[in-house]
């Protein structure tokens, strides 16, 4: 087994890559990283100095691969499975990459801004930044809702890289800024994602850590039962 994923089961961007791995039943070793442990954080920084998870290593090809979108494209190219995550058609591939960036930049990043602000010390909260993040989520939800009025998955009729990105963004985004009652097409799409075995497996692995999520009190109880 040449692939190792350095990750944490609660980390939203790690979910994105885990879904890709589980979609294709790609063999890999999981290495959990505790960034609160100074020694462990230092070891991880030696691997990828930016210090952000996840990171994939491939001993067979002597590769260290950071950044979720690049990791998934690497897997699709060198360890392809039954579910191609980058469509073969060039135009559809561009669409998948576009919606991947959409979910990462316009839903995932604002969601993380809201969550991490709760971890700031007294007097350090960025109230304006959080308000802007919530406004950005509202705009993105509206755009996505219109898109999914006519699309089964983000890039068309089949699951792709973009849907791997959408799942954790919407999972955590829907907790801090709910969309289920205001954006029906987006809500139906999210439920479609939750039906996938890969997604259910990722959430099952994250469940023991849900108590660590700052907005745990707003998390729907069904996520503790899936």
Confidence of residue 225 (pLDDT cuts 50, 70, 90): confident
Q: Which domain holds residue 166?
A: 90-196
Q: Does residue 80 lie in a domain region?
A: no
Count of Cβ atoms closer than 10 Å to residue 114 Cβ: 22
Number of domains in the chain: 1
Q: Does residue 182 lie in a domain region?
A: yes
Compute the distance between CA of residue 149 and CA of residue 84 in angstroms, rounded to an integer: 24
Residue 226 is predicted with a pLDDT of: 73
Q: Does residue 71 lie in a domain region?
A: no
pLDDT tens-digit readout, 154-177: 999 999 999 999 999 999 999 999
For position 103, which CATH number holds?
A: 1.20.1050.10
Q: Does residue 62 lie in a domain region?
A: no
* Residues sharing a CB contact under 8 Å with residue 200, sequence separation 6 or more, in sequence order: 194, 226
pTM comes to 0.96
pLDDT tens-digit readout, 31-70: 999 988 999 999 999 999 999 999 999 999 999 999 999 9
Is 88 buried (19+), middle (13-18) or exposed (0-12) by CB count in 10 A? exposed
Closest CA to 111 of 155, 169, 152: 169
Q: Does residue 41 lie in a domain region?
A: no
Closest CA to 11 of 205, 222, 226, 224: 205
Q: Is residue 1's pLDDT more than 90?
A: no
Residue 7 is predicted with a pLDDT of: 97
Q: Does residue 174 lie in a domain region?
A: yes
Count of Cβ atoms closer than 10 Å to residue 44 Cβ: 21
Residue 12 is predicted with a pLDDT of: 97
Q: Does residue 156 lie in a domain region?
A: yes
Q: Does residue 13 lie in a domain region?
A: no
């Amino acid at each position: 087994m040449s692939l190792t994923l350095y990750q944490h089961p609660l980390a939203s961007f790690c979910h994105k890559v885990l879904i890709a791995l589980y979609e294709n039943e790609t063999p890999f070793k999981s290495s959990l990283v505790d960034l609160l442990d100074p020694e462990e954080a230092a070891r991880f920084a030696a691997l990828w100095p930016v210090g952000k998870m996840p990171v994939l290593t491939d001993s067979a090809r002597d590769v260290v691969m950071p950044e979720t979108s690049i990791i998934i494209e690497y897997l699709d190219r060198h360890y392809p499975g039954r579910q191609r995550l980058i469509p073969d058609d060039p135009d559809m591939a561009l669409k998948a990459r576009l919606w991947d960036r959409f979910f990462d930049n316009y839903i995932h990043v604002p969601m993380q801004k809201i969550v991490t602000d709760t971890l700031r010390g007294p007097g350090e909260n960025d109230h304006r930044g959080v308000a802007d993040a919530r406004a950005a989520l509202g705009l993105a939800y509206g755009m996505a809702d219109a898109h999914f009025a006519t699309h089964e998955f983000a890039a068309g009729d089949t699951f792709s890289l973009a849907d791997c990105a959408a799942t954790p963004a919407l999972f955590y985004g829907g907790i801090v800024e709910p969309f289920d009652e205001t954006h029906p097409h987006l809500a139906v799409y999210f439920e479609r994602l939750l039906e996938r075995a890969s997604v259910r497996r990722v959430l099952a692995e994250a469940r023991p850590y849900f108590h660590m999520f700052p907005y745990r009190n707003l998390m729907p109880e069904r996520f503790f039962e899936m």
